[in-house]
Amino acid sequence: MAKIRTLALTAAGLGMTLAGCGTQAPSSAAVATKAPTTVVMALPVQTSPDWFFPVLASTAFIDVNSQMNFLMYKPLVYISKTDGVDYQKSLAQSITYNASGTRYVITLSHKYKWSNGQPVTSQDVVFTWNIMDAASQNNAVWSYGGAGGGGVPADFQSVTADGPDKVIVTLVHPENQTWFIHNGLAQIIPVPASVWDKYPTNMTAELNYIKSIANIPTAKPYSVVDGPFKFSQMAPNDYWTFVPNPAYGGHRATIKKLEFQYETSTSNEFAGLKTGIVDVGYLPPSLWNSRSALTGDRFWSAYPFGFNMARVNQSPLAEGGLGPVFSQRYVRAALEMGINQQGIIDSFYHGQGVVEDSPVPSEPPTEFYDPALKITWSNPPYPKAMAAVNSAAQEVDHQLTLTNLRSQVTQAQAELDKAYQQLGQAVYPSLSQGQSLDPQFVGVAPAVAHIDILRQRLQSAQQALRDEDPVSRTPCPSCGALVDAGDKFCGQCGHGMR
């Protein structure tokens, strides 16, 4: 499974992230030390943020919207660049849980406050969860994009406030605690209930209200945030700007304005980088050979958490009978080993990727990756494993051959049965009237000749199958159909098998 280096702004794009030297003028080393007042970031091509409420609808569940949300709102659980929990950047000060993983007590930190001076409370967390829960139901006004992941909402039995600083989450059944914190609790990005809770007794009306201003970041509720930035202004399909939140409880930005710029094409984005209009952007693979034109810019590769994979059909009903074959682990390993990951990375992605063999990638480095588990198939001590995979590949080839031969036998038998039927239909009118049948009767001779050809074809197919798989099936002495070894009767004509 190849892991491709991707730009930081969106998982949909492929390329390298790069930055100018921090000014609106063409980049150069001479101005590298000058602190910028405005930073312009390029958005992915023809992509606009369109949902600023941090509980994203399924129709707006994209990285760009998440990026806007994270600027304005702090998550309950902040996942670090090493895929761990960073409580210094989380609203949660600590999370404790029972041994079975069914009860979680979340204690909120006093480090972060809303920009109107009010503290972030447990009621804010509960309110936000109620929005997520309601939007995850089948009849919701709009659907929450994260529903189904991290146990949301089916695994949650209750989310309750225990005083202003504690939230208790109870699950329906036990879960791995690390998994649930990363994938369940980390989805909660609280909003101030005092600002957003317009319809305390009518959740449908609340969801409608949120939907009505989801793409209007200048609406009054968005002025109360606890993240590092506040929304400032926008021009649709042009730019979206943010300014630092002076009440932010974490490390405050040194710039005066952060602007996201709409891009009509990769060439337009590249031109912005080249002229210095864009400070932070990306280099798509198609423009890789033009990177030398970006003088003074700094390049780096950004890796998202995740991996690429292909799913094979393991169902017993899979076409061609391949389901049981794909169900064998060694078969899937053989298929993976047959993919030249490094060749793909070098050819299509200009070397900007790493070869992977597990769902835990080596890049970016995380606390879950163990280099001791990395498989190096070309080096000892794997010759025995390679031999086993080669043997498995031969077995796969054998099974595919058998499948093809059985299909040929079935088809030949069906054609022969049809020919017998056509012959019967041709001679029945004469025989039913007591007339004698002349072998040279029109239609009979060609039909008989055709049947002889089909019988030979069936016998050849049956013999080929016996040669490939001599013990599994034998032809019925009465009708010629193949019968599994051990069957007492032919499934086609009912003739007894000895």
Q: For residues 341 and 357, what is the distance between their CA atoms, to the nearest angstrom?
A: 10
Q: Domain for residue 27, yes or no? A: no
- Mean local confidence (pLDDT), 262-285: 94
User: How many other C-beta atoms are found inside a 10 Å radius of the C-beta of residue 142?
Assistant: 19
Q: Domain for residue 32, yes or no? A: no
Provide the pLDDT for residue 176: 97
Determine what percent of the chain is predicted with pLDDT higher than 90. 52
Residue corresponding to tokens 């702004």 = 9
- Final residue of a structural domain among 230, 263, 296: 263
Q: Domain for residue 21, yes or no? A: no
Q: Domain for residue 71, yes or no? A: yes
More confident residue, 27 or 78: 78
Q: For residues 315 and 330, what is the distance between their CA atoms, to the nearest angstrom?
A: 17
Q: For residues 141 and 136, what is the distance between their CA atoms, to the nearest angstrom?
A: 10
Q: Measured on CA atoms in the order 272, 275, 278, 281, is the torsion positive or negative?
A: positive
- Mean local confidence (pLDDT), 102-124: 98
Provide the pLDDT for residue 241: 98
Provide the pLDDT for residue 488: 74
More confident residue, 195 or 426: 195
Coil, strand or helix at 263: strand
- Mean local confidence (pLDDT), 440-450: 74
Q: Is the pLDDT of residue 439 over 70?
A: no
Provide the pLDDT for residue 203: 97
Query: Is there a single domain that holds both residue 217 and residue 73?
Result: yes
Residue corresponding to tokens 């606009």 = 48
- Mean local confidence (pLDDT), 222-236: 97
Q: Per-residue confidence at 354, pLDDT binned at 50, 70, 90?
A: confident
Query: Is there a single domain that holds both residue 197 and residue 56?
Result: yes
Q: Is the pLDDT of residue 33 over 60?
A: no
Q: Which of 155-169, 412-426, 463-477 has the lowest mean pLDDT?
A: 463-477
Q: Helix and strand tally (H, E) in the chain?
A: 11, 15
Q: Domain for residue 352, yes or no? A: no
> Could you tell me which of 497, 421, 483 has the C-alpha nearest to residue 454?
421
CATH of the domain at 85: 3.40.190.10
Q: Domain for residue 373, yes or no? A: no
How many domains are there within the chain? 2
Q: Which of 206-220, 226-240, 338-352 has the lowest mean pLDDT?
A: 338-352
Q: Domain for residue 368, yes or no? A: no
Provide the pLDDT for residue 375: 66
Decide: 29 and 22 in contact? Cβ < 8 Å. Answer: no
- Mean local confidence (pLDDT), 116-128: 98
Q: For residues 417 and 446, what is the distance between their CA atoms, to the nearest angstrom?
A: 16
Q: Is the pLDDT of residue 115 over 90?
A: yes
Mean pLDDT of the chain: 85
Report phi then psi at 267, rounded to 5: -70, -35
More confident residue, 140 or 451: 140
Residue corresponding to tokens 């949902």 = 51
Report strand pairing: 257-263 vs 38-45: parallel
Q: Domain for residue 279, yes or no? A: no
Q: Residue 255's domain spans which residues?
A: 47-263
- Final residue of a structural domain among 206, 231, 263: 263
- Final residue of a structural domain among 241, 263, 285: 263
